[in-house]
Amino acid sequence: MSALLNLNPIPLIPWKGRTFNQIHSSIQKNGQISADIIINPNLFAANPLKIYRREIASTSATTCGSNASLRIDEFNRPNGTINNSVATTIKDLVNTLDNTMPNNKCENYESCSVVLSPAANARNRVRSSGMIKRKFNEGKNDDTYYTSSSQYLTSRNRTFVQNQYNYIRKGDSTAKPGSNLASANVYSPNGTNHCLKYFIPVDTSFGYKWVNKYDSSTPRNLIANTTTYQVAIPAGYYTLDDLNRKFKQAMFANLHYFIKDPAGRTTEFYSDNISYALNFGYNNNANVIELQSYRIDATVFPSSNYIIPTNGNDSPTWAVVPSSGLYPQFVIADNILKSAIGFNAASYPSTNATSADIYKVFTSSFTPGIQPLYVKLYYKPNNPQFAQQGGVNSSDLITRKKYNSITNSSASYRTAFGGAVANALAYGVPSNGYTVKDKIGYPMKKTPTFSKYSTEMKQCSVTSFANAI
């Protein structure tokens, strides 16, 4: 076709290798045996019948004869074809058989690309046992390659089964999913989240200021703390929890925290009995990051419940002022961290002066780069009673009707007979009364027997559970 259209012919594939002539059997007629007894000593033996039969490469076939034929059965029949790799004289029907393994231009790994090299492919199969090498994405904590669409959808929480469960992330948790009150709710599906973390390309930092500190005089005096403590943020992938973890590690090292249990001690910065006055938070309703600063005084952190950690000299480095509380401050520098949290370079709050607020909250000035790591699911089925889209079968409907009837009837008994009766009826306790035998149990059956050798009566208990009923 390319020659007819005056186009360039299709180039040969360089790695394909040579081809073989595939010879098939043909229908031949048995001929006369030579009359020369010297040449053919079986002259006087029984000769074969002069009939047609199928032979392969014994004599030259008549290509134009009516008996020349080729069928699919000859391909499927064992030994129905042979490959002619040496002989130049063809004695039978011939087709072309592509065989790329012998004389392959890519047999040598060094002289061909890795994709086309059989040697390289064989080595990979042996080294990996036929498995696909796992490719890991640090930003998503997940694989970057999947062998099926099911694995791909599961990793992104898009399968039907994962979206049958709802975990509320934003909105009214008391509203039934699918109802009008839950129209603004946002849920997340069931499964592990593999969303991409925010990438900070270079090392950066931010700071914070504490409320006060003791000086080095004797006796020590409590003075204002104007030092800006730096929190280093190395380059890498971050979530808001990762940022909080770095921040609390720095405050823990500087002894800027409270111990909730006065009799307890801890060496872990993320322990449950550790409380911090500064914290990063995320507002799901506004999709912004919050900087939270709690007032430090005896009202918010009473000494009966909170104590201040001590240094190596068993003495605290700062103190809680009973009369007037102060706010610790975030110090956001003019660097790349601004884009991650959505705050301009400033101090939050601007001053640490006391006020009536127990805590102060500051929200992002623009959209932060760090976002929650979950797939948003707007769970709004049109059949919220059964938590699914569309109708249900008759058995599900009958089961729901029975459940609602039991629940409604038990609720009507709550006012008259109390919560215990309502709870008993709700769990299907039968309404009929019981006797003492129901309470203490029924005695085991026994049968009187007499031996033929004596007049003594014996009691024989049953030996199977079926006879005891």
**Per-residue pLDDT at 196:** 76
For the ranges 92-96, 103-107, 263-267, 329-333, the one whose mean pLDDT is highest: 329-333
User: Domain map of the chain by residue range?
Assistant: 19-98, 198-363, 441-468
CB-based contact 152:140 (threshold 8 Å): no
CB-based contact 3:78 (threshold 8 Å): no
Model's pTM, two decimal places? Answer: 0.51
Say if residue 234's pLDDT is above 90. Answer: yes
CB-based contact 33:40 (threshold 8 Å): yes
Residue 289 to residue 313: CA distance in whole angstroms: 38
Secondary structure of residue 274 in the 3-state scheme: strand
Residue 237 to residue 288: CA distance in whole angstroms: 19
Partnered with residue 458 across adjacent β-strands are: 449
12, two tokens:
């040969």
Say if residue 36's pLDDT is above 90. Answer: no
- 311-333: per-residue pLDDT in tens? 877 788 898 887 778 899 999 99
Secondary structure element (H or E) that encloses residue 231, with its range: strand 228-233
Secondary structure of residue 116 in the 3-state scheme: coil
**pLDDT band for position 93 (cuts 50, 70, 90):** low
CB-based contact 252:269 (threshold 8 Å): yes
Say if residue 291's pLDDT is above 90. Answer: yes
Say if residue 231's pLDDT is above 90. Answer: yes
- 384-408: per-residue pLDDT in tens? 777 677 778 888 888 888 888 877 7
Lowest mean pLDDT among 13-27, 248-262, 285-299: 13-27
Say if residue 465's pLDDT is above 70. Answer: no
**pLDDT band for position 100 (cuts 50, 70, 90):** very low
207, two tokens:
């700071």
Lowest mean pLDDT among 204-208, 423-427, 456-460: 423-427
**Per-residue pLDDT at 16:** 45
Which amino acid does the sequence have at 231? V
- How long, in residues, is the chain? 469
Instruction: Please state the rounded mean pLDDT for residues 254-258.
Output: 91
Between 164 and 73, name the one with better pLDDT.
Answer: 73
For the ranges 52-61, 130-139, 180-189, 266-275, the one whose mean pLDDT is highest: 180-189
Lowest mean pLDDT among 167-176, 207-216, 390-399: 167-176
Instruction: Please state the rounded mean pLDDT for residues 426-435.
Output: 53
Between 149 and 204, name the one with better pLDDT.
Answer: 204
**Per-residue pLDDT at 96:** 57
**Per-residue pLDDT at 360:** 92
**Per-residue pLDDT at 84:** 62
120, two tokens:
């390289």
Indicate the average pLDDT of the chain.
74
**pLDDT band for position 1 (cuts 50, 70, 90):** very low
